[in-house]
Amino acid sequence: MKLSELIFNKNGMSIRTELPIIGEMLTEPMPYDKLSYDGFNITVTSIEPLIEDGVLVELKFKVSNTGSIKPTDNELISSKSRNISERIPQKIVMRLEEHNWPDHYARFTRQLYNPSTAPYLIRMIIKGRGSINDTDLRDLLEKQGYSKTSGGIAASINVLENVTQEVKVEGKAKNKRYIWVDK
């Protein structure tokens, strides 16, 4: 997944991500008070201001060579603590704390918001497509270098369905389909 633009305006930042496997650009707005990244490295290739009536309305940074700053071992071990609340929306943190989810749900939930992870890619593919069957999703993941038989795919889908409630799963086995519902 290639991050290609960061757009800053009075409402917050938008991240435009290229999804080459489906040939689309995905734009995710992020209000400044909800930024979920501790940090990331970027190379700015150009800066484009948008000026309307003599007022700077927006700055668009075209970027390349991105990578997230890796969390420390303590951040990875911590589950339902401060690290989750720093990375994911508060309503999701509350949902994690209200239920007795398996321990790995917290880890996969954090990964949904980290662009350098497979769960993030899974989320973006489903969101970008709106709907995709299991076989096509696994094929797309394999094209990006991930194992199509990984148990992490099912774990990510479980978190998207049960914790974030952004995906609805229909059908079973080979007929399984994932539908973006974004609650």
Q: What gap in Å lies between CA 167 and CA 118, rounded to an integer?
A: 16
Q: Which of 109, 136, 135 is nearest to 123 (CA)?
A: 109
Q: What gap in Å lies between CA 76 and CA 93, rounded to an integer?
A: 16
Domain boundaries, the chain: 2-68, 73-180
The class level of CATH for 73-180 reads mainly alpha
Determine the pLDDT at residue 36: 54
Q: What does pTM read for this prediction?
A: 0.57
Determine the pLDDT at residue 143: 82
Encoding tokens for residue 104? 């790995």
Determine the pLDDT at residue 133: 93
Determine the pLDDT at residue 179: 95
Please give the DSSP secondary-structure letter assigned to residue 115: T
AA identity, residue 177: R
Contact 60, 50 (CB under 8 A): yes
Give, for all 183 residues of the chain, the pLDDT tens digit.
456 788 888 888 877 777 655 566 667 777 777 665 555 567 778 888 888 998 888 888 887 755 544 444 333 333 333 344 455 778 888 888 888 888 888 888 888 888 778 888 899 889 888 999 999 999 888 888 888 888 889 999 999 999 999 999 999 887 899 999 975
